[in-house]
Structure 1
C-alpha cells in the first residue's frame, strides 16, 4: 500500500493551519481540495486505498522519517 502525506497548509509559515492537502512523496497532489481537518483528510485517503501519514511537526520534510507517523 502506497503512503500518502497529509500536509498542513500553508507550508513554511508560522501561524494557524488553514487546512490539509494530500500528497505523494514527490510532492504530487492527489486532489486540489484542501481539507479543513486531519480527520477528514485521513478518511478520504483511506477511502482511496492509501496509507496516510500524519505530520508530527509544523514545518515538514518528507525525507525525515521523524516528521511523520502512521494514522490509526
Structure 2
C-alpha cells in the first residue's frame, strides 16, 4: 500500500483552513485533489485502498516523519 498525504489549505499559518489537499504518487505522476473536510479526504482515500497520513503541523515537510500521523 502507498501512503497518501492529507494537508490543510492554505499551506502556512495564515488564515482559516479552506480545505484539505490529498496528494499521492501514481507511478511517476503526482496526483492532487482538494476536499472540503479532512474526514471526506480520509474516507475517500481509504476506499481506494491507501494509507492516509494527516499533517500534525500546519507547515509540513514530506521527508520529516514527525510531521505526519497515520490514520
Q: TM-score range by the shorter chain?
A: 0.7 to 0.9
Counterparts of 1:1-72 in structure 2, within 5 Å, are 1-24=1-24, 28-31=30-33, 34-71=34-71
**Contact in 2 for aligned 1:21/1:29 (Cα 8 Å):** no
Deviation string for 1:3-46 (max 9, x for gaps)? Answer: 00001111235111100111126892243xx2111111000000
Q: Specify every segment of 5 or more residues in structure 2 that has no aligned partner in the other structure, as ranges.
A: none
Over 3 Å counting, the alpha-carbon distance change for 1:28 and 1:12 in structure 2 is farther
**Larger strand share, 1 or 2:** 2
Q: Which has the larger radius of gyration?
A: 2
TM-score normalized with structure 2 length: 0.84
Over 3 Å counting, the alpha-carbon distance change for 1:63 and 1:27 in structure 2 is farther
TM-score normalized with structure 1 length: 0.83
Q: Specify every segment of 5 or more residues in structure 1 that has no aligned partner in the other structure, as ranges.
A: none
